[in-house]
Chain A
Amino acid sequence: MSYVDVNGKQIEVDEDGFICDPDLWNEEIVRCFARLEGVDELTDDHWKVIHYLRGYYRQFGIAPMIRKLCKETGFNLQRIYELFPSGPAKGACKLAGLPKPTGCV
């Protein structure tokens, strides 16, 4: 297991850099993950996506369909990729503290 240092606190992440315990998630962690993901500045648009994912995950225990994510945030897929260069599944979900989506994706 590897750890990411978030303001002096060691946060456990898996091999792909996803948080191991989604309950530990907080905004500090997002800022730290963002740097690692190559997201230089967290804008309101970023937060909108992150909070939506977070809320959905809290309710359903999984990431929403990509199409739903786009519709609910009002961003098209291209915009999501602009915001999170590694995409909705690997980028946005990581920042939002979700486990990594797996399967045929």
Chain B
Amino acid sequence: MKSPMRLAKAEDVRAIGLAPAAEEERKPRLLAKLKELRGSMRSLAVMLDTCVKCGNCVRQCHSYLGTGDPLNAPPARADLMRKLYRRHFTLAGRLLGRITGAEDFDAQTLDAWLTYFYQCNECRRCAVFCPLGVDTAEVTIAGRHLLSELGMVPRFMQQVALNLQKTGNNMGIPKPALLDSVEFLQCEMLEETGLAVKIPVDQAGSEILYIPSSADFFTNVDTIIGVAKMFHALGASWTISSAVLEAANFGLLFNDSAMRAHNRRMRQAAEELGAELVLQGECGHGWRAARLCTEAASGPVRFRLMHVLDYTARNLGRLALRRLSMRVALHDPCNYARAGDLIDEPRRILRACVEELVELAPNREETFCCGGGSGILMDEMMEIRLKLGKKKAEQIQAAGRIDYLAAGCSICKAQLPHVAAHYGMPDLAIGGVMDLVGKAMDMNRSTGGV
């Protein structure tokens, strides 16, 4: 099956600093890069060798369960790279060929890679169920990175990368537009609370640099409102930076160099503003990139790094929250539950903000992905996205009547409404965790207020 996903044109790929490979150059470059990558990533090296095909992960992968496509089963997906690896880099594969699962590069190789590495949400649920610790997301990440080294980048990723290059955020919001939006939000909050709740922009000397998701300034305004109210109530010294208005780091999802470049934006902004604490906003993979990759991507840093949900959970005692009479279900974003260490924090926050918190099953470390993870948000992929979201939809349906689905990640927030609508829950309200903090906060009673 050929993927409907659109690729960026050669000149657009060049515009983000990548070099497209000519047809005949593809195989040698792919092999050379694979060799290089395998040489520098222990995870990839060991995972290409050790899968025993026990099949335990197969039925744990929502991508396989939702699409029913055999090549979406994690070991089959990883085999797309493994067969090339065996053929060219192992003795047995070179000598015995197909008996060992080795297969050479052919006309279908890249199509298959593009199709199946972009139907894996990099959710790492398979890794949780693999007795040997084979994490197919690592293979997917490596695969996408290799594709980008051949100039094969989804148009969606390319556009985001271009926006990042120009404005430091995925949506391409320039500073004047940001200031206008901030102004508007401040008016809204003034109207609602009667208080001058501020969203400081580029305020040098602030203790905290808050990194929102740029979608907070388009669709998810309640998230940034919740955050601003919390900071206001705590009397915190904080700012956002117009240079890095983006917690997401799509580079992690398609090209390593782009990942590092964005990571350095964060470091640079923190240093310029003199922030001592960098707080990441509601974005799943962005938290992973910030927490696990900053040291490698940006070198030693002087600031502390925390997630806003962790920060909020620690400060719950200082916020005057009244429980909203709502039945709220919590969706654990993959990158919070697997790698992010943000499992109890959202629960503690929600218990303080709403009357009833419902758990989806399975949850926590075994959570299912929303189906948009790893940036599979392309419009042309909608049909596949809905299949990828099938498991999540079933979980939500099983939770019974709920008033709100809390998903503290911008990708989830973008993907879940489509999933909910498609699977018969068009009226389900979906939003962030901080949104509810904002709504539950009694601004005039919170301690530490200005």
**Measured between alpha carbons, how far is A102 from B174 in the docked complex, in Å?**
14
Residues of A within 8 A of B377 (CB): 104-105
Is B221's CB under 8 angstroms from A67's CB? yes
Q: Mark B160-192, 1 if CB is under 8 A from A, else 0.
A: 100100000111111011001100110010000
Closest to A66 in B: B219
Is B414's CB under 8 angstroms from A61's CB? no
Is A104's CB under 8 angstroms from B174's CB? no
Residues of A within 8 A of B6 (CB): 15
Is A60's CB under 8 angstroms from B171's CB? no
Residue A8 lies at the interface, judged by CB distance under 8 Å to chain B:
no
Is A65's CB under 8 angstroms from B214's CB? no
Residue B159 lies at the interface, judged by CB distance under 8 Å to chain A:
yes
The size class of the interface chain A forms with chain B is 20 to 34
Residue A16 lies at the interface, judged by CB distance under 8 Å to chain B:
yes
**Measured between alpha carbons, how far is A104 from B283 in the docked complex, in Å?**
10
Residues of A within 8 A of B188 (CB): 67, 71
Residue A54 lies at the interface, judged by CB distance under 8 Å to chain B:
no
Is B174's CB under 8 angstroms from A60's CB? yes
Residue B410 lies at the interface, judged by CB distance under 8 Å to chain A:
yes
Q: Would you call the interface of chain B mostly helix, strand, loop, or mixed?
A: helix
Residue B88 lies at the interface, judged by CB distance under 8 Å to chain A:
no
**Measured between alpha carbons, how far is A71 from B192 in the docked complex, in Å?**
14
Residue B248 lies at the interface, judged by CB distance under 8 Å to chain A:
yes
Residue A9 lies at the interface, judged by CB distance under 8 Å to chain B:
no
Q: Would you call the interface of chain A mostly helix, strand, loop, or mixed?
A: loop
Those of A62-87 within 8 Å (CB) of chain B = 62-68, 71
Residues of A within 8 A of B159 (CB): 102
Is B171's CB under 8 angstroms from A102's CB? yes
Other-chain contact of B177, A60, A89, A105 (Cβ < 8 Å): A60
Is B181's CB under 8 angstroms from A68's CB? yes
Closest CB of chain A to B281's CB: distance in Å? 11
Is B181's CB under 8 angstroms from A103's CB? no
Residue A38 lies at the interface, judged by CB distance under 8 Å to chain B:
no
Residue B232 lies at the interface, judged by CB distance under 8 Å to chain A:
no
Residues of A within 8 A of B174 (CB): 60-62
Residues of B within 8 A of A104 (CB): 170, 213-215, 248, 283, 377, 410-411, 413-414
Those of A33-77 within 8 Å (CB) of chain B = 59-68, 71
Other-chain contact of B176, A60, A66, A102 (Cβ < 8 Å): A60
Other-chain contact of B171, A15, A16, A68, A105 (Cβ < 8 Å): A105
* Known interface pairs A15-B380, A104-B248; A62-B173 also in contact (CB < 8 Å): yes
Residues on A lying within 8 angstroms of B by beta carbon are 15-16, 59-68, 71, 89-90, 101-105
Question: Besides the contacts A71-B188, A105-B219, what 17 more A-B pairs have beta carbons closer than 8 Å?
Answer: A15-B6, A62-B177, A65-B184, A65-B185, A66-B218, A67-B184, A67-B221, A68-B181, A71-B184, A102-B170, A102-B172, A103-B160, A103-B170, A103-B214, A105-B171, A105-B377, A105-B414
Can you report 5 residue pairs joining A to B where beta carbons are below 8 Å apart? A15-B380, A65-B181, A65-B184, A102-B172, A104-B215
Residues on B lying within 8 angstroms of A by beta carbon are 6, 155-156, 159-160, 163, 169-174, 176-177, 180-181, 184-185, 188, 213-215, 217-219, 221, 248, 283, 377, 379-380, 410-411, 413-414
